[in-house]
DNA sequence: CATTCCCGTAACTACGATGGTTACGATTCG
DNA sequence: CGAATCGTAACCATCGTAGTTACGGGAATG
């Protein structure tokens, strides 16, 4: 299952929002996959793969070349956690093995059919919980928890290796 | 993630309930792991492993030796799908990677903290959906879908090799 | 135009979870 | 005792995910 992808995706969207729409309007605000990877603690390729899923979902855009990077497409109020969850999660939360339905035993088919409705409702309940929270809510929590974050997106790694002092 | 285990566990509990508490009171009603495996379409060892988890949760009991097998411990009204889900599922539905919290970036910590509450609530909503359905409800659906199932638990394999006619 | 930066993606490895299979000891009934 | 059945260890195959390296292509800038 998509284990850590969900949390990392929220992290990346938070970084893109804080740096890209920070109110200063400077063009260098779009963070690169390398910076994001350093912040998250993983590889730039992993970040690009994950952001690629978010781009397919229409949540971010990318631009190549110097000064390029990743930006969110809309205001953080417009994207819910369910949008992010669906973008980065491939399979269902409670995947019912289709192999069970193919068994010769009629009980298997009936159990599968009865379970389908229950699981669908349980999953819908979970998705309603995710849909009730937007990226803006998460951002508000982050800003409340570390007020200095919006100034320097990655406080502990503001000075990167290749940057001139 | 525990993919097909949940559906298979419900299937096994259905078999044990139909055969063990069929109202006839005959002692030979407890199905063996071999019979269940044939019905589910898998290996007896896999069935025993899964039933072992259900036994740890107190949902079934086992007895060795000839005439042994598996029985449910209580009436099907007493066990909910959430009980089964928790018995066979090891990890959380939306596991938040702890590695994300260990990152140096303060945003990661705050994102993780903010997400914790949301995910807990979403998962609780899903679990309420599972807790609302009992094994008896599933049994009712199965009985409605295949009325002959309760007479012979495994209709297509009622006559096994070792059984006297 | 050349350089430099950055995205996009393929290919490979590593690792853990899961399921399937075999095997063997322990237990229970006749 | 012998047969049936559980309990469990051991091993292998498969799959999803993460990490890593590598390379091609587009974009800004001198």
Count of structural domains within chain A = 1
β A60-63/B69-72 pair status: unpaired
- Structure letter (DSSP) for residue A77: G
Contact B146 A110 (CB under 8 A): yes
Report yes or no on B65 lying in a domain: yes
For B111-127, write each residue's pLDDT tens digit: 988 998 898 899 899 99
Report yes or no on B40 lying in a domain: yes
Report yes or no on A75 lying in a domain: yes
For A105, the closest of B4, B7, B154 (CB atoms) is B154
- CB A3, CB B95: distance < 8 Å: yes
Report yes or no on B12 lying in a domain: yes
Report yes or no on A165 lying in a domain: no
**Residues with Cβ < 8 Å from A134, sequence gap 6 or more?**
A76, A77, A78, A79, A80, A81
**Which residue's CA is nearest to the C1' of nucleotide D9?**
B45
Listed residue (A156, A139, A126) closest to A23, CA to CA: A139
Report yes or no on B165 lying in a domain: no
Instruction: Give the pLDDT score at B95.
Output: 60
Host domain of residue A31: 5-157
> Distance from A123 to chain B by nearest Cα, in Å?
6
DSSP string, A9-49: HHHHHHHHHHHHTSSS--GGGSPPHHHHHHHHTS-HHHHHH
Instruction: Give the pLDDT score at A65.
Output: 95
Residues 16-75 of chain A whose Cβ lies under 8 A from any Cβ of chain B: 18, 39-41
Question: Which parts of chain A sit beneath pLDDT 50?
Answer: 1, 22-27, 99-101, 151-165
CATH number at residue B47: 1.10.10.10
Is A130 part of the contact surface with chain B (CB cutoff 8 Å)?
A: yes
Contact B145 A81 (CB under 8 A): no
Residue with tokens 């394999």: B157
Is B96 part of the contact surface with chain A (CB cutoff 8 Å)?
A: yes
């Amino acid at each position: 299952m998509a284990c850590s992808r969900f949390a990392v995706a929220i992290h990346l969207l938070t970084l893109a929002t804080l740096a890209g729409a920070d109110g200063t309007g400077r063009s260098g605000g779009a963070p690169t996959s390398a910076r994001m990877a350093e912040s998250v603690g993983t590889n730039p390729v992993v970040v690009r793969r994950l952001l690629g899923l978010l781009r397919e979902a229409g949540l971010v855009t990318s631009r190549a070349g110097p000064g390029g990077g990743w930006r969110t497409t809309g205001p953080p109020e417009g994207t819910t956690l369910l949008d992010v969850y669906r973008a980065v999660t491939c399979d269902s939360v409670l995947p019912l093995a289709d192999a069970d339905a193919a068994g010769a035993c009629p009980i298997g088919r009936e159990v599968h059919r009865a379970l389908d409705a229950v699981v669908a409702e349980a999953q819908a309940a979970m998705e309603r919980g995710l849909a009730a929270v937007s990226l803006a809510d998460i951002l508000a929590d982050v800003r409340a928890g570390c007020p200095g974050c919006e100034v320097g997106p990655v406080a502990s790694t503001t000075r990167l290796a290749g940057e001139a002092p």
